[in-house]
């Protein structure tokens, strides 16, 4: 077999040299009788002049391979140590989720004691469920940079799921409450 590989490498790649004729690009019609051909006379894949991506496959084909992009969903943000300490040392507030959009990555909480709605970012939600309108939550507060004039909810925990609603886990499973 080693002799066959050397023979194929030495030849020009013309299929007619291997006992095959080229008809409309690629054909496997023999040009001579089978008795004249040796087991080494089959064309090598490199002599077929296939496009580069078709010569070998490392894994199953995927129409999206090579076009994958990172998930558009935001991931957990990092805060400075001082902002994290200030938020974690603050009091715990109660409220109700007014709205939350997973694809946009944010929502709002209506404080139980009144006042303006509080912004909540997807990265500040603890637990396994995506919040929906009506969920009771606890949270701490942190200022929003760069001006630190507005507040946002951090360390948000759903304490009671809104009854009669469907809830989704972060991994995509849906449950009814």
Domain CATH for 124? 2.40.50.140
Mean pLDDT over 9-30 rounds to 44
Quick one: 85 and 172 in the same domain? Answer: yes
Q: Is residue 62 part of a domain?
A: no
Of 52, 73, 91, the domain-final residue: 52
- How far apart (Å, rounded) are the C-alpha atoms in residues 117 and 96? 10
Q: Is residue 70 part of a domain?
A: no
Quick one: 164 and 90 in the same domain? Answer: yes
pTM: 0.54
Q: Is residue 76 part of a domain?
A: no
Q: Is residue 146 part of a domain?
A: yes
Alpha-helical runs (H) found in the chain: 2-10, 52-55, 81-89
Q: Which DSSP symbol is given to 86?
A: H
Quick one: 100 and 33 in the same domain? Answer: no
> How do the residues of the chain divide into helix, strand and coil, expressed in percent and rounded to 5?
20, 25, 50
Is pLDDT at 71 greater than 90 in this prediction?
Answer: no
Is pLDDT at 135 greater than 80 in this prediction?
Answer: yes
Q: Tell me how many domains the chain contains.
A: 2
Between 96 and 24, name the one with better pLDDT: 96
Q: Is residue 72 part of a domain?
A: no
Give the number of C-alpha atoms closer than 13 A to the C-alpha of residue 143, restricted to the C-beta side: 10
Q: Is residue 67 part of a domain?
A: no
Q: Is residue 15 part of a domain?
A: yes
Quick one: 90 and 155 in the same domain? Answer: yes
Q: Which DSSP symbol is given to 125?
A: B
Mean pLDDT over 57-86 rounds to 57
Q: Is residue 127 part of a domain?
A: yes
For 152, the 3-state DSSP assignment is strand
Quick one: 131 and 171 in the same domain? Answer: yes
Looking at residue 166, its pLDDT comes to 94
- How far apart (Å, rounded) are the C-alpha atoms in residues 158 and 121? 14
Range of the domain at 134: 81-176
Is pLDDT at 12 greater than 60 in this prediction?
Answer: no
Q: Which residues contact 165 (CB under 8 A, 6 or more apart)?
A: 132, 133, 134, 176, 177
Q: Which DSSP symbol is given to 113?
A: T
Quick one: 97 and 170 in the same domain? Answer: yes
For 115, the 3-state DSSP assignment is coil
Quick one: 48 and 104 in the same domain? Answer: no
């Amino acid at each position: 077999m080693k002799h066959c590989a050397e023979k194929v490498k030495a030849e020009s790649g013309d299929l007619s040299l291997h006992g095959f004729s080229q008809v409309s690009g690629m054909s496997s019609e023999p040009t001579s009788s089978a008795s004249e051909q040796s087991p080494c006379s089959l064309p090598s894949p490199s002599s077929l002049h296939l496009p580069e991506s078709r010569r070998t496959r490392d894994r199953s084909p995927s129409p999206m391979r090579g076009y994958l992009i990172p998930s558009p969903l935001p991931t957990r943000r990092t805060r400075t140590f001082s902002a994290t300490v200030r938020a974690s040392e603050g009091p715990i507030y109660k409220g109700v989720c007014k709205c939350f959009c997973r694809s946009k990555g944010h929502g709002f909480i209506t404080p139980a004691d009144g006042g303006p709605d509080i912004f909540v970012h997807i990265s500040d939600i603890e637990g396994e469920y995506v919040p929906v309108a009506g969920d009771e939550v606890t949270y701490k507060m942190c200022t929003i940079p760069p001006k630190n004039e507005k507040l946002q909810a951090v360390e948000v925990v759903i304490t009671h799921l809104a009854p009669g609603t469907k809830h989704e886990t972060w991994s995509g499973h849906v449950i009814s409450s």
